[in-house]
Amino acid sequence: MTYCLGIINRFGIVLAADSRTNAGVDYISTYNKLFDFSLPGERAIVICTSGNLSITQGVINRLHRDLQSQEELNIHSLPNMYEVTRYIGSKLRQIQDQDRPWLERDRIDFHCSLLVGGQIRGEAPQLYLIYTQGNFIQATLETPFLQIGETKYGKPILDRTLTYDMPLEAVAKCALLSIDSTMKSNISVGPPINLVMYEAGTFMARQKLQLRLGDPYLAKIRKLWEDSLRRAFESMPNIEWQHPPVEDNQQEDILID
Amino acid sequence: MTYCLGIINRFGIVLAADSRTNAGVDYISTYNKLFDFSLPGERAIVICTSGNLSITQGVINRLHRDLQSQEELNIHSLPNMYEVTRYIGSKLRQIQDQDRPWLERDRIDFHCSLLVGGQIRGEAPQLYLIYTQGNFIQATLETPFLQIGETKYGKPILDRTLTYDMPLEAVAKCALLSIDSTMKSNISVGPPINLVMYEAGTFMARQKLQLRLGDPYLAKIRKLWEDSLRRAFESMPNIEWQHPPVEDNQQEDILID
């Protein structure tokens, strides 16, 4: 599995990804899943990938090739983020067309998804999630984050804390903790963590971070976080226990509500 | 879905369950999933259920019937928690035998699982998880909690905070927060929350709690928790951003590790 996360708010975008891939617990490897396709000064574009690695690597490879061979349509030539996302989706469809019959025949999982976040001059920052089928959705104010891969462990912290007006540094810490929580609870998600913080209007992905296993910063925030969690529920008001039984063993089952 | 949770430590056992069942998002109901079968003074036994409701209700019904008709083997007559758990597993197998062919024919999910926690005089407290197939595992010191149903959202808080030596009141708050986090992030898990805190050596489930939607205590701990989380990552040391690129857009993909 994988866990990638994109968050957008009024100050910009944060994208983060773990680096673990696995084909069964006896075949675990490390691959980068966060790719920066920015053209500094004109556009910032960062992509995170999850799912079948041969397919997502194929997509990234084709994006690079179109750039290098100066195809008319490429990630730097397209005029807006919507068209860029459609173009990436079309590359995904090409690879699916090419490989899916072979994968389906052997019942190999062909699912994958991508996050695309960034900003092109003349537009506001945007964040998209592209599905296996090449279609996509966009993050909006109401739900300012998108997740792919192993999404459940790291969702509560996002649901509880993210706001549209939160400083981007706080958003970045929140993203790190969301990934770190997932890593701690599920071995299919693992380090290094790659993180990009994009400030709206800068048109380049300036703030980047890679946290490897044993990184002192990662160890420090993990320790601080665990201490905070423990203190938080220790400081919670005591439970007022009720003494009537939840269910009496002498009765038939009753509906409580 | 459902989320039920059992935690055992040196001071006793905490069991908790939500109360939502659903057959699709357009058919959501409320059922109690926490059942107290204690025989106060001699044994404390609490069961939580998840999965196919007709099957788990069938199991609970048979446990009650064996008690009422004073069958030789019943949940109050069996001499130890291991035998009690085997007996509950055998009831589950009876219902599976009876109903599964009908369910499988229409591709209806027949999976279910149960948590069984408690203590019988002469033994230490014990906590078990019974699978669909009637077999079971026991919680041990290394992994002092067992979860059934929608388990992922509420796992990080357990992984980060539970210890074997933690006061039982703190364990109970931790269980509440684990369920509340899951409710907040997944609509298939919902109130009321039922919670039992069993103190080792008391042989009765004395501390019980039911928190309904809008319960002031639930609202209060949710607010406190969210505030604590936000403060926690605001107080975290700032990220030291690295400026070399995670991936240069002029290169082919490279492995970072």
pLDDT in tens, A150-164: 999 999 999 988 989
A180 half-sphere exposure, CB direction, 13 A CA radius: 25
- Minimal Cα–Cα distance from B104 to chain A, Å? 22
Q: Is B5 on the interface with A (CB under 8 A)?
A: no
For residue B249, the chain A residue with the least C-alpha distance is A37
CB-nearest partner of A157 from B229, B244, B256: B229
Chain B residues in contact with A184 by the CB 8 A cut-off are 156, 159-160
Which A residues, 188 through 207, put their C-beta within 8 Å of a C-beta on chain B? 192, 194-197, 205-207
What is the pLDDT confidence band of residue B244, given thresholds at 50, 70 and 90? Answer: low
Residue (of A75, A56, A78) closest to A65 by Cα position: A75
CB pairs under 8 A between A and B: 238
**Stretch B127-154: mean pLDDT, rounded?**
94
- The answer to whether the CB atoms of B236 and A229 lie below 8 A apart is no
- Asked if residues B157 and A182 have their Cβ atoms less than 8 Å apart, the reply is no
**% pLDDT > 70, chain B:** 94
**A74 vs B249: CA distance, rounded Å:** 13
For residue B194, the chain A residue with the least C-alpha distance is A246
The pLDDT value recorded for residue B190 is 87
CA distance to B49, B78, B85, B202, per residue, from B44 (Å)? 17, 13, 13, 8
* Number of neighbouring beta carbons within 10 Å of residue A252: 11
CB-nearest partner of A161 from B61, B229, B238: B229
- Asked if residues A93 and A110 have their Cβ atoms less than 8 Å apart, the reply is no
What is the pLDDT confidence band of residue B243, given thresholds at 50, 70 and 90? Answer: low
- The answer to whether the CB atoms of A221 and B234 lie below 8 A apart is no
For residue B163, the chain A residue with the least C-alpha distance is A230
* A21, burial (CB in 10 Å: exposed 0-12, middle 13-18, buried 19+): buried
pLDDT value at B247 more than 60: no
Which A residues, 132 through 151, put their C-beta within 8 Å of a C-beta on chain B? none
- Sheet strand arrangement including A193-199: A145-149, A3-9, A12-17, A193-199, A207-211
- The answer to whether the CB atoms of B257 and A212 lie below 8 A apart is yes
Residue (of B251, B234, B242) closest to A196 by Cα position: B242
CB-nearest partner of A153 from B156, B205, B208: B156
The residue assigned the tokens 């995670």 is: B246
- The answer to whether the CB atoms of A246 and B208 lie below 8 A apart is yes
Q: Please report, for chain B, the start and end positions of each structural domain, with discontinuous segments joined by +.
A: 3-234
Chain A residues in contact with B239 by the CB 8 A cut-off are 169, 172-173, 176, 195, 197, 207, 209, 217
Q: Tell the CATH topology of A3-230.
A: Glutamine Phosphoribosylpyrophosphate, subunit 1, domain 1 (3.60.20)
For residue B178, what are its two tokens? 């684990």
The full DSSP string for chain A is --EEEEEEETTEEEEEE--EEESSTT-EEE---EEE--BTTTEEEEEEEEE-HHHHHHHHHHHHHHHHTT-SS-TTTSSSHHHHHHHHHHHHHHHHHHHHHHHHHTT----EEEEEEEEETTS--EEEEE-TTS-EEE-BTTB-EEEEES-STTHHHHHHH--TTS-HHHHHHHHHHHHHHHHHH-TTS-SPEEEEEEETTS-S--EEEEE-TT-HHHHHHHHHHHHHHHHHHHSSPPP--B-S-SS-TTS------
Task: Look over chain A and give the mean of its residue pLDDT values, rounded to a whole number.
Answer: 90
- Minimal Cα–Cα distance from B52 to chain A, Å? 16
Residue environment code for B15-30, b if the CB has 16+ CB neighbours within 10 A, otherwise e = bbbbbbbbeeeeeeeb
- The answer to whether the CB atoms of A239 and B192 lie below 8 A apart is no
**B154 vs A29: CA distance, rounded Å:** 27
Q: Output phi, psi for B112, to 5 deg.
A: -160, 160
Residue environment code for B110-135, b if the CB has 16+ CB neighbours within 10 A, otherwise e = bebbbbbbbbbeeeebbbbbbbbebe
**B235 vs B247: CA distance, rounded Å:** 30
pLDDT value at A143 more than 80: yes
ipTM of predicted complex: 0.80
As a whole number of Å, the end-to-end CA separation of chain B is: 39
**Stretch A44-50: mean pLDDT, rounded?**
97
pLDDT in tens, B19-73: 988 877 777 888 899 999 999 999 999 999 999 999 999 999 999 999 999 999 9
Tell me the CATH number for domain B3-234. 3.60.20.10
Residue (of A74, A48, A221) closest to B160 by Cα position: A221
- The answer to whether the CB atoms of B241 and A19 lie below 8 A apart is no
Q: Is B187 on the interface with A (CB under 8 A)?
A: no
A59 half-sphere exposure, CB direction, 13 A CA radius: 34
Q: Which residues pair with B124 in a beta bridge?
A: none
Q: Is A254 on the interface with B (CB under 8 A)?
A: yes
The verdict on whether omega for the bond into residue A40 sits within 30 degrees of 0, i.e. cis, is no
Q: Is A253 on the interface with B (CB under 8 A)?
A: yes
A121-125, A148-152, A253-257, B245-249: segment of lowest average pLDDT:
A253-257
CB-nearest partner of B239 from A160, A205, A209: A209
Residue B7, SS3 per DSSP: strand
- The answer to whether the CB atoms of B241 and A38 lie below 8 A apart is no
Q: Which residues pair with B126 in a beta bridge?
A: B118
For residue A82, what are its two tokens? 């919507």
A88-92, B75-79, B214-218: segment of lowest average pLDDT:
B214-218
Apex A204 CA angle, A203 and A210, nearest 5: 150
pLDDT value at B255 more than 80: no
Q: Is A3 on the interface with B (CB under 8 A)?
A: no
Of B101 and A245, more confident: B101
CB-nearest partner of A196 from B35, B185, B246: B246
As a whole number of Å, the end-to-end CA separation of chain A is: 39
The pLDDT value recorded for residue A243 is 59
Task: Look over chain B and give the mean of its residue pLDDT values, rounded to a whole number.
Answer: 90
Q: Is A60 on the interface with B (CB under 8 A)?
A: yes
Residue environment code for A117-127, b if the CB has 16+ CB neighbours within 10 A, otherwise e = bbbbeeeebbb
**Stretch B234-247: mean pLDDT, rounded?**
72
- The answer to whether the CB atoms of B185 and A245 lie below 8 A apart is no
pLDDT in tens, A200-251: 999 999 999 999 988 999 888 888 888 888 888 778 888 888 755 444 444 3
What is the pLDDT confidence band of residue B250, given thresholds at 50, 70 and 90? Answer: very low
The pLDDT value recorded for residue B254 is 34
CB-nearest partner of B19 from A154, A160, A257: A257
